[in-house]
Amino acid sequence: MSLTIYASLMCASCRHPTLHLFHERRLQKPPAGDPAFVDLIYVCEGCETERVWGSEPKPQPKRRRSAREELREHAVAVHGMRVADCAACLGVGLSCSSCDDRGSVWVFDSLDPCGPDCPLPVTGGGP
Ligand SMILES: [Zn+2]
Ligand SMILES: [Zn+2]
Ligand SMILES: [Zn+2]
């Protein structure tokens, strides 16, 4: 995101345009709820009076995708994971331990690890 470090702005104290230096971002205080924007605070170089000049959306904390989400995405993209009717109860989902009564199960094209970094839990393992 681009940021102007200084600008010539009207200063309320000096009563004429002065050089203002970027000072800080400050969360807006909305009447209710979370502030969604930050004000950009600039300070007059002459008298150090602060003023707001512009605002920008509050930076969202970078949402880290959970390992579970990544695993799921990987499984769908690489291993062809999809929902299918549970074979044990034929999709009815009543008192079925195979699908936990959901009637559907995840099926995969392949559960073999696609590489050394495959995050899928190794299943089977043979007898
Ligand atoms: Zn000033
Ligand atoms: Zn079932
Ligand atoms: Zn994989």
Does the pLDDT value for residue 106 go beyond 60? yes
Lowest mean pLDDT among 9-13, 23-27, 36-40, 60-64: 60-64
Q: How confident is the model at residue 123 (pLDDT cuts 50, 70, 90)?
A: low
Q: How far is the CA of 51 from the centre of ligand 1 (A)?
A: 10
pTM as predicted: 0.45
Q: How many Cα atoms within 13 Å fall on the side-chain side of residue 81?
A: 14
Q: How far is the CA of 4 from the centre of ligand 1 (A)?
A: 18
Tell me the pLDDT tens digit for each residue of 75-100.
999 999 999 999 999 999 999 999 99
The CATH number given to 6-57 is: 2.20.25
List the structure tokens of 46: 């002459």
Q: Which residues have CB less than 5 Å away from ligand 1 (the ion)?
A: 11, 13-14, 18, 44, 46-47, 49
Separation CA 106–CA 111 (nearest Å): 11
Which helix (H) or strand (E) segment is 69 a member of?
Answer: helix 67-79
Q: Is the backbone of residue 16 left (phi > 0), alpha (psi -120 to 50) or beta?
A: beta
Separation CA 50–CA 15 (nearest Å): 13
Domain boundaries, the chain: 6-57, 67-107
